[in-house]
Amino acid sequence: MAENSSAEQVDKVSLRVVVLKEKNKVLFAEAGKDFVDVLLSFLSLPLGTIAKLVAKDSNIESVKFGSISSLYQSVSDLDTQYLWSHTCKEMLLNPNNSAEAYCWNMKLNIDNTESLKSYYLCENVSCLSVDHKYCLSYFRNQKCICGKPLNREKSRILSKEIGFVKEMSTFIISDDLYVMPNVVTASLNLLQKLGVNDIDAIDKQTVSINITKKEVVDLLKLSLVSKTPLSDFIFKKEHFVEDLVLSNQLEVNIGKEKEESDEMVVKVLRRKSNKQILFVEAEEDFADFVFSFLTFPLGAVLHTRQGFSFVSCIDNLYKSVTELSSDKCLRSQLFKDILTSPTISAQSELRHQILPIPKNNYKEKNTSYKFIDPKSPISGGYAGASLTFMVTDELVVTPMSSIDGISYLERMKVSLNDVEEMVLNIGQKEGLGILRASLTSKSALTNGLNQFIGSRSVQANLSSNARPLKKPKVEK
């Protein structure tokens, strides 16, 4: 996954920024298509890709993306034997971006996932599926249905349409990443909002800076942890908010819930004294549910809660796309949809997904190719069959072991009489609670689930050897 550093130096675009130098404050930036495309592409990035990118060095140090970073690391550390296949691990660590066709040729594209470039056919040239199609995968050396590896590389034809906004269009961008068409009224409104009434009276300066992919990664990091990413970026501020804290409980008013049969059953271990959820013990269905977060495009997560992720700048970015004109600013309505309601890539979807993440409507047309699903044919998920996992508050997923469980409690300095145990059903509401909390909090389970404990689905204080009973899955 080495980056082409020489290409990185060539690909730079300039950004003009109006600043208040004395206050180290960006009023707004003015940018063209190349910069705005990559900024908007943040919404198309799967959460796993974001975790991977912000863990890397750029001009600023790595940052943690809520609990997603620790989830990503735990999958990276997880022995392949606990997953259905080696390819499953690769799919989670390098998730496909469903908007890749439009991002790949962007000047500042930061998603260098290798799998975007090619797909792979069976080593056996004459191998055909039962419906007489050639077997195919995005992942090299995935096992074909015949048992041989899919390793004959075929380049993909990528779209000639690059990015999301119209050619030659220009935009202004607020310090907190609100993107607007570059018209005088927009900048005046913005200045008024900032309390600037007399333009002459302020000591403003226009600075021009070159942006390369490295700076884009800086901005991605800052957009997750700062409320003023452009100011922090331009003035190289070192101290930004490390961990955005959820001020209140998440709203749970999400309308229709799925039927009971879609619920998962987990055993929750919680500290009695402060109600912190230490970990849950769960079967592979819950592990798959948590793994699948890595494949969700950021914009899809915002879509589930109409643009409010609590990561304020990302909310602004999302909201501004919903307001940009689909015929004047964006290429078309299609591109607005791709950004505000991006889908999971077709191969990555779980068969039983309890969350309302937009589905890929891509249908295999009458082509002579057939994608081979690397996931479990039994569960339709990533995890190995009939396994029990331990998932910590920070979404670290490991195979369950009593010894590891106890040493975890030791590490957390929990006395055993301070531990309560309960069985909880995880349905769509609870699932959304965890997902939303995972973006901003290192206590995704506590912040995502505690609001539901005590209200429903709980049978507390079960005898300690009672195992969560799995409900039979109804095949659809």
Binding site for Zn ion (CB under 5 A): 122, 124, 127, 144, 146, 148
How many other CB atoms are found less than 10 A from the CB of residue 450? 18
Question: In the complex, what is the shortest distance from the CB of residue 469 to Zn ion, in angstroms, rounded to a whole number?
Answer: 39
Nearest to 338 by CA among 164, 168, 96: 164
Contact 5, 258 (CB under 8 A): no
Q: What is d(CA 453, CA 246) in angstroms, rounded to the nearest whole number?
A: 18
Count of CA atoms in the C-beta half-sphere (13 A) of 94: 15
State which residue, 138 or 289, has the beta carbon closest to Zn ion.
Answer: 138
Question: In the complex, what is the shortest distance from the CB of residue 281 to Zn ion, in angstroms, rounded to a whole number?
Answer: 38
User: What's the token pair of residue 185?
Assistant: 């009224």
Question: In the complex, what is the shortest distance from the CB of residue 381 to Zn ion, in angstroms, rounded to a whole number?
Answer: 23
Q: List the beta strands (DSSP E) in 291-418.
A: 369-371, 388-392, 397-399
How many other CB atoms are found less than 10 A from the CB of residue 387? 15
State which residue, 25 or 86, has the beta carbon closest to Zn ion.
Answer: 86
DSSP secondary structure code for residue 305 in this structure: T
Question: In the complex, what is the shortest distance from the CB of residue 370 to Zn ion, in angstroms, rounded to a whole number?
Answer: 11
Sheet holding 134-137, edge to edge: 142-143, 149-155, 118-122, 134-137, 369-371
Query: Can you tell me which residue has the tokens 């819950």?
Result: 286
Question: In the complex, what is the shortest distance from the CB of residue 135 to Zn ion, in angstroms, rounded to a whole number?
Answer: 5
User: What's the token pair of residue 249?
Assistant: 């409980």
State which residue, 142 or 441, has the beta carbon closest to Zn ion.
Answer: 142
State which residue, 124 or 276, has the beta carbon closest to Zn ion.
Answer: 124
State which residue, 370 or 436, has the beta carbon closest to Zn ion.
Answer: 370
Question: In the complex, what is the shortest distance from the CB of residue 372 to Zn ion, in angstroms, rounded to a whole number?
Answer: 8
State which residue, 70 or 142, has the beta carbon closest to Zn ion.
Answer: 142
